Amino acid sequence: MQHSVSPLVESLWRFGIVGLIGLGVWIVLRSGRVMLGNAAFAAIAAAATAALVARGTADIIAVVAGVLAAAACGALFGVAAARATSTGFAIASLALWAVELSMRAPAGAVLRSQGSPVFVVIAVAGAGVAAWFYARSRHGRAAAAVGQDERAAQGIGIDPVRVRVTAVTVGALLAGVAGSLSVFYPGFDITAYRLHGDIAAFAAVVLGGAGGALGPLVGAALVAIAAVAPVTKEHATAVNAVALLAATIVLPGGIASIFSRAARR
């Protein structure tokens, strides 16, 4: 990378971006589906925002437009895949990798990449709090019910398709916030979303713990700290992937499960 920022600033940016995409993955996971390509929505938002910024549009308008574009794409994907089986949904979400692979940043956008991480940290903190309240809301409980047992949820009047479309849309919206704000990241590189973004997000969710909204944020903090190491994008992805694999097999409840076990004792 050619940019030079302090490790703290770098970590804060990574924490915000990975945390937001990870929260989106967690919301979809809660409804019983695995979204393997949520970073594609971040890439869509980043491309849209970068294109608008490069044409001189006001930053705030560009960010909002990028987020809305990601949410609209998420809603479309949700409508298409919400009726699929869990395996079918996961396979369909892999199609989003084609979007990640095809993304190119418009020329000129990089020149504006000199923002502070304050906004993305505020965004991820706000999203974390919102996700915590969401998990306790009527819709959040309905999503959890659908994730646990779809037929039982239908039996008490919950529409699984509507719940899943909403979950995918909200997940895409959060990824969109990450993508739009990442345009102002000093090391902005839209190709970083190609699989690397998905792996970092999943590593955050599983390492932190998929049992609650705080888990993805704790995991994102770990991923962000590890990302400061001077390694290539590919090596960072390999480290995240190995950590994800180890946590999936050995510690599926994530770090949060260690604390909850200790609290129970």
| Site for other proteins, rule CB under 8 A | 29, 34, 36, 77, 79-81, 83-92, 94-99, 101-102, 195, 198-199, 202-203, 206, 209-211, 234-235, 237-238, 240-242, 244-245, 248-249, 252-254, 257
For other proteins, the closer of residues 126 and 252 by Cβ is 252
For other proteins, the closer of residues 154 and 257 by Cβ is 257
Q: Which amino acid is at 158?
A: I
Provide the minimum distance between the beta carbon of 192 and other proteins in the complex, in angstroms, as a whole number. Answer: 13
For other proteins, the closer of residues 117 and 140 by Cβ is 140
Provide the minimum distance between the beta carbon of 113 and other proteins in the complex, in angstroms, as a whole number. Answer: 24
Measured between alpha carbons, how far is 38 from 137 in angstroms, rounded to an integer?
23
Provide the minimum distance between the beta carbon of 88 and other proteins in the complex, in angstroms, as a whole number. Answer: 5
Provide the minimum distance between the beta carbon of 209 and other proteins in the complex, in angstroms, as a whole number. Answer: 7
Count of alpha carbons within 13 angstroms of residue 108, beta-carbon side: 10
Q: φ, ψ for residue 6 (rounded to 5)?
A: -70, 155
For other proteins, the closer of residues 34 and 58 by Cβ is 34
Alpha carbon separation from 146 to 133, 143, 207 (Å, rounded): 18, 5, 24
User: How many residues comprise the chain?
Assistant: 265
Q: φ, ψ for residue 157 (rounded to 5)?
A: 90, 10
Count of alpha carbons within 13 angstroms of residue 235, beta-carbon side: 7
Cα dihedral 225→14→171→120 (10° resolution): 120
Radius of gyration of the chain (CA): 18
Measured between alpha carbons, how far is 177 from 201 in angstroms, rounded to an integer?
14
For other proteins, the closer of residues 110 and 190 by Cβ is 190
Provide the minimum distance between the beta carbon of 77 and other proteins in the complex, in angstroms, as a whole number. Answer: 7
Nearest Cα neighbor of 36 from 216, 219, 202 is 202
Provide the minimum distance between the beta carbon of 76 and other proteins in the complex, in angstroms, as a whole number. Answer: 9
For other proteins, the closer of residues 5 and 95 by Cβ is 95
